[in-house]
């Protein structure tokens, strides 16, 4: 609900230009998640492996920085319905990439 509200609201207000809009959004989300993590008592019980660290770094760069800026561009230039259509396309692309490149089995 909050993502839908933010998408509609963001299309109607003037957003900061460039990467600032994405940076503000990710910073706010990080603060909310840190508070939720503290309130639920989550703790880091072991250090992640290097492959895990590299995977998170990859997701931070391609899954966050590039994707959120593309999303902010769409929010400013198309209707919210078109901008949020990625949520229907991404799972299909992920399944196709997984079966095509990672050798994953396609099972319903």
pLDDT at site 50: 95
- Higher per-residue confidence, 30 vs 39: 39
For the chain, what are the domain ranges?
2-78
28 falls in which pLDDT band (50, 70, 90)?
confident
**pTM of the predicted structure, to 2 decimals:** 0.52
Per-residue pLDDT at 84 exceeds 90: no
> Is 29 within 8 Å of 36 (Cβ atoms)?
no
Specify the 3-state DSSP secondary structure of 46: coil
Q: How far apart are CA 50 and CA 10, in angstroms?
A: 37
Nearest to 94 by CA among 60, 59, 54, 57: 59
pLDDT at site 53: 93
Per-residue pLDDT at 37 exceeds 70: yes
Across the chain, what does the average pLDDT equal? 82
């Amino acid at each position: 609900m909050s993502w839908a509200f933010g998408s509609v609201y963001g299309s109607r207000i003037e957003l900061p230009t460039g990467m600032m809009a994405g940076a503000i959004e990710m910073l706010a989300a990080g603060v909310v998640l840190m508070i939720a993590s503290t309130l639920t008592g989550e703790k880091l019980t072991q250090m992640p492996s290097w492959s895990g660290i590299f995977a998170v770094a990859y997701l931070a760069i391609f899954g966050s920085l590039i994707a959120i800026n593309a999303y902010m561009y769409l929010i400013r230039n198309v209707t919210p319905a078109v901008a949020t259509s990625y949520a229907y396309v991404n799972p299909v692309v992920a399944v196709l990439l997984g079966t095509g490149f990672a050798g994953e089995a396609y099972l319903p």
